[in-house]
Amino acid sequence: MRRRVVVTGMGAVSPFGCGVLRMMAGLNEGQCALSFIPETQKIPGIDCHVAGMVPALAEARDIPREYRRTMSPMTIFACLAAREAIAQANFSQGLPARSGVSIGSTMGSGQELHSLFSSFIVSGTLDAVRTMAFFKIMAHTASAGVAALFGLSGRILNPVAACAAGLQGIGAAFEAIAFGREDRMLCGGTEEYSPLTCATFDKIGAASHGHDPEQASRPFDKRRDGIVCSEGAGILILEERGQALARGASILAEIAGYATVTSPASVASPDEQSSARCMEEALADAGADPGAVAYVNAHATATHAGDVAEGRAIERIWGNRVPVSSLKGHMGHAMAASGALETVACIEMMRSGRIVAGRNGLVPDPECGQLWHAEQGQTLDRGLVVKNSFALGGIYASLVLAPAE
């Protein structure tokens, strides 16, 4: 029998700063956390100069140096978000046995990789490379760092699935608990900004060339011109519901269903059929029909093809009967962290009963389908919420959230 899985703690590090409260204040006020990055102008061949950067974090000094010296920014982001989630879940004495980690990432530290290969190409040796660099480069650096800092001895999972990695991190944790492999998991996704990430999207024609941070990211808008990269981390604590109730934990939401599917047709072109299939399978996993859904939080990165495929898939299932929005106009696209940060935001919307709408004076693109684009502060009716994260490589992930009983 499948066990019920609930959320008892959440943490966030975003371009708005450290903490869920800061992120939600920025989102609820319709603020833009993007900024112009002049350093990218020095790199020939890159024409994307806006990003969502996490501000300097004094809180990083709270991490003991013995752990921090093996951590790049992405691991520090994850550790600070995990600390917030642990505090909210009231595990002041630490997490007990049968507690694992599942944190998605795009890769290891891009900054550290750049530094290592810059040194190696110039000198031809690795003599100048510090030993600690290798711990920052490994793809599971954040999962390993969080497990070490908080003394967790359960399973470590580290989905590496580009923009779907954060949601896959939550989904893998959900399945581990639901089927009795663990009792609780720290899960989510983390990402650190690298000009090379922007360059990748620029080279495939998917990056925004807008130089005005306030207007650069425009999901579902007729004037959109591509992705704006950002960084951060979103971490949740998932627990088996019976154990959470037994210890008197406050339940924030329930994970009702999850699905992840693949489209083998193309590693680069988004697929409307696969987008719809993923959402339908997640609903089936939750034992719910589309009519039970009160809101869809779209992946919608402001690329032409991606927004069209996802928008039409949403229209195929719900028509224009369910409000839809994307948060990437506020925070940009935090890659592996995006699905986790947006899940945290979805749960906060469910708790407040208010939707965060897309920003930038949306002029809906009819190619994306006839959607119900939510208005800022619009009432979120009690019901299920669907959260999407889709990635290059033909990877799709959808999560179904239910309100706390």
Contacts of 361 (CB under 8 A, 6+ apart): none
The catalytically annotated residue of 229, 333, 346, 373 is 333
The answer to whether 240 and 5 have CB atoms below 8 angstroms apart is yes
Nearest to 206 by CA among 268, 271, 298, 163: 268
The answer to whether 381 and 294 have CB atoms below 8 angstroms apart is yes
163 catalytically annotated: yes
Tell me the β-bridge partners of 99. 184
Nearest to 100 by CA among 181, 174, 176, 154: 154
Q: How far is the C-alpha of 31 from the C-alpha of 34, rounded, in Å? A: 9
Q: How far is the C-alpha of 396 from the C-alpha of 403, rounded, in Å? A: 24
Q: How far is the C-alpha of 78 from the C-alpha of 115, rounded, in Å? A: 22
Q: How far is the C-alpha of 397 from the C-alpha of 101, rounded, in Å? A: 19
Q: Which helix (H) or strand (E) holds 254?
A: strand 253-262
Q: How far is the C-alpha of 12 from the C-alpha of 22, rounded, in Å? A: 9
Q: Is the dihedral of CA 280, 283, 289, 295 positive or negative?
A: negative
Structure tokens at 21: 């409260």
The catalytically annotated residue of 163, 198, 278, 368 is 163
The answer to whether 71 and 79 have CB atoms below 8 angstroms apart is yes
> Between the CA of residue 145 and those of 53, 66, 190, what are the distances in Å?
22, 11, 12
333 catalytically annotated: yes
The answer to whether 297 and 398 have CB atoms below 8 angstroms apart is no
The catalytically annotated residue of 49, 299, 330, 373 is 299
Q: Which helix (H) or strand (E) holds 232?
A: strand 232-240
The answer to whether 58 and 42 have CB atoms below 8 angstroms apart is no
Structure tokens at 42: 């020095």
> Parallel, antiparallel, or unpaired: how do β-strands 395-403 and 384-391 relate?
antiparallel
| Residues involved in catalysis | 163, 299, 333
